[in-house]
Structure 1
């Protein structure tokens, strides 16, 4: 009986520690973070339109498209597909993405498409694409918005984030699309 009472006390202590104290401590620490731990939001005219570090779906012709998402752009379910490059289902999915991309961009060849435009990132929520991924979409976006390709290309180049020391250049798709909406 003495052991049972000790085990019950220990269980209650652990439940209080990990179900009450720890979450409250994390909430308190989050309050010290920028935006109280709610993420880095992007606002337009005072309205939150997205998060800087979370990708979202753009599929209209007049916007730049981001990377595909294995999590369907659901931040609560962030995950990759866990399918390897030899998995038949994965290869079929990538081929379907390639076919769709070529259908909407008939001026391209399969070899022109950067891999980030047809493969999801590890989290499934990458907000960035390569500058090449943006540049191959310039013609479609310019045509849909009745803008010159040169003007849209200059915007892509302006919005490209160069690596500070190492890494690759990226373009945040949400920020690029917001800047695109502001073009006259």
Structure 2
């Protein structure tokens, strides 16, 4: 009986601590974050067009494409595919992505496609691509939008984020911000 009451007491204390106090504490801390913890949004003319830190699907030829998502860009089900590199289903998915990329970028050779453009990330929500992945799409976008490749390359350069202290990480570009900048090009 003594053990049972101890277990019940521990359960009640844990419930109050982890179901009430901890969520209130985290909610309070989130109020100090940008946008009160609701995420960093990008707005155009007062309308939210997306979240800065969550990847989105772009499939129109006039936009830069994001990295594929195994979660369908759904933040509620963030996940990778969990399929190994030799899994036949995974290989078929990657091949389908390669084929789609080549159809929309006919001047690109298969060996030039960066792997990040045909493989999903661990979270499935990466908002960034590398400058290499952006540059390989320039010809398609320039042809579709009827603007010079030089303007698009300059836009890529202006949106490239350098590694932390020049040492940690790789150069990245936020795809949503890049596409917003693309829409603003004249």
Query: TM-score normalised to the size of structure 2?
Result: 0.92
Matched with 1:171 is 173
Q: Deviations over 1:60-106 (max 9, x none)?
A: 11111010001100111111111121222111111110011001111
Aligned pairs for 1:94-105 (under 5 A) are 94-105=94-105
Per the alignment, in what secondary structure is the counterpart of residue 42 of structure 1? strand
Whether 1:21 aligns to 2:29 is no
Matched with 1:153 is 153
Equivalenced residues, count: 184
Distance 2:14 2:114 in 1: 50
Per the alignment, in what secondary structure is the counterpart of residue 50 of structure 2? strand
Structure 2 gaps of 5+ residues are none
**Offset, 1:133:** 0.8
Matched with 1:136 is 136
Query: TM-score normalised to the size of structure 1?
Result: 0.93
**Offset, 1:149:** 1.8
Per the alignment, in what secondary structure is the counterpart of residue 161 of structure 1? coil
**Offset, 1:9:** 3.1
Q: Deviations over 1:140-161 (max 9, x none)?
A: 1111112122222221122222
User: RMSD of the alignment, in Å?
Assistant: 1.5
Distance 2:30 2:182 in 1: 33
Aligned pairs for 1:18-167 (under 5 A) are 18-163=18-163, 164-166=165-167, 167=169
**Offset, 1:13:** 2.2
Q: Deviations over 1:14-41 (max 9, x none)?
A: 2122111111111111112222112222
Structure 1 gaps of 5+ residues are none
Distance 1:23 1:169 in 2: 35
